Amino acid sequence: MTICITITSTKGGVGKTTLTANLGALLADLGQKVLLIDADPQPTLSSYYRLASVAPHGLTELMVAASTETVISRTDLDRLDLVYSDDPDGKLRDWIRDAVDGRVRLKHILARFDGIYDFILIDTQGAVGPLQDAAVAAADLLLSPIPPEILSAREFVRGTVAMLERLKPMAYLGAPIGPLRGVIYRQDRTVDARRIVEELRSEAYLPSKGAITILDAVIPASVVYREAATYKQPVHRLERKSRNQSPTALDTMLSLVVELFPHLKLAELLPPNKA
């Protein structure tokens, strides 16, 4: 059974694309067949990794024509495919808004990939709108990176709770909104960051009535994530050893995978050269 995860936030610049790319690549290295979908008009995910082959079409064809045959590009990473973003002018957003089934259409189209991919990861834009709604409605699980900064934390609680509440009626159209997991992203060692994380863990759960859970896994502020994007490599491949005994990027990303997907047996799936 395919699991669809939408990486979402009502705030831009919080690390959605980096998280999507690295989580997808690690799952692929763990032996899972993964499809990345770039649902952001600014196509950063589309160029995050090198492509071994480029499909004739991208997200627009997938959504409008409901075509799954001509939209799959292959990255140069084994088991990691991509549907690229091809809507720089934002016309797809208007099409989704006006289509009768616009906001639930993607969920039903992606059902055709069931059994073909183990995971589908959808990257979204940092703005509320029809395209983000469609990506959220398609997901079995929502994942939101949260920088431990007071404005980002407040926007996460306010904007995310409002989004979940607004999209509840999707359940009547066969697209119930999945649970949301928040992951602390780019945490530094300051006292202020630790205080904000503590507040998020204690407060985010309550206003959402249990729909939001802050994960124990934390992704630290580290230059290695930017370096990995520059080299077009997954971060867990670039940094495997830690000089100061702190968790490596591989350790960090594995802890996230273990918490999100406890059904995966990592000891069996992890290749020897990644141990």
* pLDDT tens figures, 55-92: 999 999 999 999 999 999 999 999 999 999 999 888 99
Mean pLDDT of 246-274: 76
Mean pLDDT of 115-134: 93
**Amino acid present at 222:** S
- Which range marks the domain in which residue 128 is found? 3-274
Torsion sign (Cα): 243, 247, 248, 251:
positive
Q: What is the pLDDT of residues 254-266, one digit of tens each?
A: 999 999 998 887 6
Position 275 confidence tier, pLDDT thresholds 50, 70, 90: very low
Position 241 confidence tier, pLDDT thresholds 50, 70, 90: low
Backbone angles phi, psi at 177, to 5 degrees: -80, 125
Position 118 confidence tier, pLDDT thresholds 50, 70, 90: very high
Q: What is the pLDDT of residues 82-97, one digit of tens each?
A: 999 999 888 999 999 9
Q: What is the CATH number of the domain that holds 243?
A: 3.40.50.300
Q: What is the pLDDT of residue 203?
A: 61
pLDDT higher than threshold 60 for residue 268: no
Position 274 confidence tier, pLDDT thresholds 50, 70, 90: very low
pLDDT higher than threshold 70 for residue 7: yes
pLDDT higher than threshold 70 for residue 38: yes
Q: What is the pLDDT of residue 191?
A: 72
Torsion sign (Cα): 222, 193, 252, 39:
negative
CB 15 within 8 A of CB 148: no
Question: Closest by alpha carbon to 239, among 14, 26, 24, 46?
Answer: 26
Mean pLDDT of 40-47: 94
Choose the most confident range, by mean pLDDT, from 8-12, 18-22, 122-126, 235-239.
Answer: 18-22
Q: What is the pLDDT of residues 130-172, one digit of tens each?
A: 999 999 999 999 999 988 877 777 777 788 778 888 998 999 8
pLDDT higher than threshold 70 for residue 245: no
Predicted structure pTM score: 0.91
H-run or E-run covering 227? helix 224-231
Q: Which two tokens stand for residue 42?
A: 């600014």
Q: Which two tokens stand for residue 238?
A: 């670039």
Q: In angstroms, rounded to a whole number, what is the distance separating the alpha carbons of residues 158 and 89?
A: 28
Long-range pairs, 90-94, Cβ under 8 A, ≥24? 90/41, 91/60, 92/41, 92/59, 92/60, 92/63, 92/64, 92/131, 93/41, 93/129, 93/130, 93/131, 94/130
Q: What is the pLDDT of residue 240?
A: 58
Q: Looking only at Cα atoms, what is the longest distance across the chain?
A: 56
CB 14 within 8 A of CB 145: yes
Q: What is the pLDDT of residue 269?
A: 54
Give the count of domains, the chain: 1
Sole residue written with tokens 């959808």: 122
Mean pLDDT of 231-243: 78
Question: How much is the mean pLDDT over the chain?
Answer: 87
Q: What is the pLDDT of residues 214-224, one digit of tens each?
A: 888 889 888 89
CB 42 within 8 A of CB 157: no
